[in-house]
Amino acid sequence: MAGIQARFRREWPGFCLDVDLGLPGRGVTALFGPSGSGKTSVLRCIAGLERAPQGHLVVGGDVWQDAGRWLPAHQRPIGYVFQEASLFAHLTVMGNLRYGMKRSQGTQHAGFDQAVALLGIGHLLDRKPDTLSGGERQRAGIARALAVNPRLLLMDEPLAALDLQRKQEILPFLERLRDELDIPVLYVSHSPHEVARLADTLVVMDGGRVVASGPLAQTLARIDLPITLGEDAGAVLDATVGELDHLWHLARVDFSGGSLWVRDQSLPVGRRVRVRVLARDVSLAQEPGSSSIQNVLPGCVDAVGDDQHPGLALVRVRVGDAMLLARLTKRSAASLGVAPGRTLWVQMKSVALME
């Protein structure tokens, strides 16, 4: 499907939303940024719940808004998922899904079946919402949004109301949506972990504007952003499970820059995974050394930037085709001669497998 072109400018007292986005037609695009940066407002403009004068919105080649056209919200083929599923209490899960489908006046059996399968709720269809856990309710809510066969799925912090365990339960279902749906998903989140795990594309917002936008790994590796991710700054690598060490409960994952050992999570050899390496867990050295750190790879400094504290630097290092970030004190950066082009050893104290 062709992508999304969205241009909106809308002023409220004390706040101006001014965005111009070109987004892919598939996969998860995360809208990330501090509270009040305008993420929900972008979703509302796309849904037609907010009207930005002179806005422009094209989804999959169809014009939903421009100078001469305004498609009302109820005619936009979207699914919208909020923090709380807000299912009708008097209807079963099946009844809730059918209600949404009736309202969209279509014959979408394929949408219904796919939604039920993707969210794994076949066994819950006869249950009433008050008999479901928070995570099951949210899965039913997402299935209801998908059952109408939308062209676009909007999700506004869908995990924010769930506790950590429920979040962990539901994340694999969201990964399935990302990998199997043919429509784009716009996903608002405050959580760097969720973004790193789920997103293909990242849009960073601040003060009503887009400050960065692009493929996830590339955008996370930017060191020039006015708002950095602070303690959560780090890189994401695409890798494949290459070997399991049953004795030590470790798994070797391979990426373009080499191999890393991570805690085994019972994933089979050959499985594609994402690996997250936080900048605070990466250090640089002239020699590979003899420390307890197992993951040490040669890299080449690509760029050096300021971090949030004047004593700290954020260093981007190329390892194979991948970019890693390292947080160092400026003093140690100076003593190592850290500068673009310098080759050094990249030591990773902790590496997290995200699937």
Q: Which is nearer to ligand ATP, 38 or 48 (CB)?
A: 38
Q: Which is nearer to ligand ATP, 34 or 61 (CB)?
A: 34
State in angstroms the smallest separation of the CB of 103 from ligand ATP. Answer: 25
Smallest separation (angstroms) from ligand ATP to the CB of 190: 6
Identity of residue 240: T
Q: Please spell the DSSP secondary structure of 183-234, one letter per residue.
A: SEEEEEES-HHHHHHH-SEEEEEETTEEEEEEEHHHHHT-S--SS--GGG-E
DSSP state of 71: -
Interface residues toward ligand ATP, by CB under 6 A: 12, 14-15, 33, 35-41, 190
Q: Tell me if 21 sits within 8 A of 190, measured CB to CB.
A: no
Residues 188-222: b if buried by 16+ CB within 10 A, e if exposed? bbebbebbbbbbbbbbbbbbbbbbbbeebbebbbb
List Cα–Cα distances, 328 to 145, 218, 223, 294, 304, in angstroms.
45, 21, 13, 19, 10
Query: 18 or 264: whose CB is closer to ligand ATP?
Result: 18
Segment (H or E) for 42: helix 39-47
In whole angstroms, what is the distance from residue 307 CA to residue 86 CA? 41
CB of 55 to ligand ATP, least distance (A): 14
State in angstroms the smallest separation of the CB of 314 from ligand ATP: 24
> Nearest approach, Cβ of 352 to ligand ATP (angstroms)?
25
The least CB distance from residue 157 to ligand ATP, in Å, is: 7
Q: How far is the CB of 205 from ligand ATP (least distance, A)?
A: 6
- The residue (of 33 and 234) whose beta carbon lies closer to ligand ATP is 33
Closer by beta carbon to ligand ATP, 37 or else 201: 37
Closest to ligand ATP by CB, 33 or 299:
33
Minimum CB separation of residue 38 from ligand ATP in Å reads 4
Complex with ligand ATP: residue 33 or 129, whichever CB lies closer: 33
SS3 call for 273: strand
- What is the C-alpha separation between 119 and 176, in angstroms, rounded? 8
Amino acid at 278: L
Q: Is the dihedral of CA 43, 46, 49, 53 positive or negative?
A: positive
Cβ distance to ligand ATP smaller for residue 207 or 258? 207
Instruction: Look up residue 338 and give its two tokens.
Output: 């850290």
- In one-letter notation, the amino acid at residue 16 is C
Give the separation between CA 235 and CA 29, rounded to whole angstroms. 17
SS3 282: strand
Written as six digits, the tokens of 55 are 């806005």
